Structure 1
Amino acid sequence: MRIDPKEFHVHNLRYIIRSAAEDDAKTFSEVRLQIDGETEYLDREQGEAFIDESGFKKIIKEDTESINSLLLVAEVNGRIAGFSRCAGNALKRTSHKVEFGVCILQQYWGFGIGKNLLEASVHWADSNGIKKIALNVLETNDKAIRLYKKYGFEVEGVLKKDKILSDGNYYNTILMGRFND
């Protein structure tokens, strides 16, 4: 699906939250690769599960045409600074829910981009009959956990020793969900 673009001004940074377009595919691939190398909060290391331009074109097209998926970008000066995705599916038993994920280039952390992508996604879900938004978050990502709780997400479970990070230690993944009854 698509949403109307919305402009934000935070700490002298102007950005737009909008639906992804097929023209974004090449930049999407580059930005995702860069983000994967900037943080260990995500599942992938840089270069793993790489999606090229044609792969992103397919994802963007499918998400735009789907009634229960949403792919958003945060655009700064015509360049993607981050993105979020609510990935739904057509299976009858799980078509009421979406999986949420968000990625922001590190240089744009602290400008409310993640919060505004989340807020737009929650509004879209609530307005389109989505009953559950599910997400996974690394236990050490306290800022994200606080934000998710602020928007009504609750802890549903913990996957123990789910990730091994560069320090050689294992970390838990927290499963969270937001319900729209």
Structure 2
Amino acid sequence: MTPHSAADQVDAEIRRLTVDDLGIFREIRAEALQRHPQSFGSSEEDEGGDAMIAAYRHWLSGSILGAFECGSLIGVAGFYVSADKRTQHRGHIYTVYVKENSRGKGVGDRLIKELLTHAETCVEQVHLAVLSTATAAIKTYKRNGFEIYGTDRRAIRIGDTIYDKYLMMKTFGADVASTA
């Protein structure tokens, strides 16, 4: 049983964003950073300007999905595979954000499901980090098979406020026992 009723669902179009979407990606990213700075941020964004634009162009050359309603971007979620040869069995979900007025309507769930469908074809497991206080996001991830495997204590500091993040992982297929 889905936690979203059919009446609450948003009929969003999900598609991969490209560098041609840089303008609308910058807008939704700016909103995310303004409303939830503890959840987002990279050193390039701290620098702003050319470094930030270069980072966004790089992200958009990869796998960032966008959810559109009536032509407006209402949500995003990114995925990448570890670059290091020894960790290429691991994928990572990042920069997940759904606009406030579209939350609770299945948009985030659909974005995660789409990313996981792609991820299953190229990695054995998917990781993400989420604020320990982001209960709705944590429920979405758990509903999609993620489990908390650790806490990154004091992961983010904004002024005098410190935030913890949960580390979550989903594996595909049979779990392989680790060897030490």
Normalising by structure 2, we get a TM-score of 0.78
1:137 and 1:114 map into 2 onto residues whose CA distance is 14
**Distance in 2, Cα, partners of 1:49 & 1:132:** 32
Which whole-Å CA distance do the structure 1 matches of 2:165 and 2:144 have between them?
19
Indicate whether 1:15 and 2:15 are aligned: no
Question: In structure 2, do the counterparts of structure 1 residues 164 and 79 end up closer, same or farther at CA, with 3 Å as the change threshold?
Answer: same
Which whole-Å CA distance do the structure 2 matches of 1:21 and 1:78 have between them? Answer: 15
Q: Does structure 1 conserve the Cα–Cα contact (< 8 Å) formed by 2:10 and 2:106? A: no
Aligned length: 162
**Do structure 1's residue 110 and structure 2's residue 104 form an aligned pair?**
yes
Q: Does the 8 Å CA contact 1:162/1:171 hold for their aligned counterparts?
A: yes
The one-letter code of the counterpart of 1:15 is A
In structure 2, the CA distance between the partners of 1:48 and 1:112, relative to structure 1 (3 Å rule), is: farther
Q: Note the residue ranges of structure 1 that are not aligned, 5 or more in a row.
A: 1-8, 64-69
- The 1:97/1:10 distance shift into structure 2, 3 A limit, reads farther
Q: Distance in 1 between matches of 2:154 and 2:81?
A: 27
State how 1:28-107 maps to structure 2 within 5 Å: 28-40=25-37, 42-44=39-41, 48=46, 50=48, 51-52=52-53, 55-61=55-61, 63=62, 70-101=63-94, 102-107=96-101
Q: Do the aligned residues in 1 keep the contact of 2:38 with 2:156 (CA within 8 Å)? A: no
Distance 2:100 2:87 in 1: 33
Structure-2 separation of matches of 1:138 and 1:72: 21
**Counterpart selection for 1:124 from 114, 118, 122:** 118
Distance between the aligned counterparts of 2:168 and 2:131, measured in 1? 11
- RMSD (Å), alpha carbons: 2.3
Q: Which residue of 1 aligns with 2:146?
A: 153
| TM-superposed deviation, 1:103 | 1.2
Identity of matched residues, %: 23
Unmatched 5+ stretches in structure 2: 1-5, 174-180
Q: Cα deviation per residue 1:72-102 (whole Å; 9 max; x = unaligned)?
A: 1011222211111111133211111111021
- Kindly indicate whether residue 137 of structure 2 is the aligned counterpart of residue 144 of structure 1: yes
Contact persistence 1:154–1:176 (CA under 8 A): yes
Distance 1:33 1:49 in 2: 14
Residue identity matched to 2:131: L
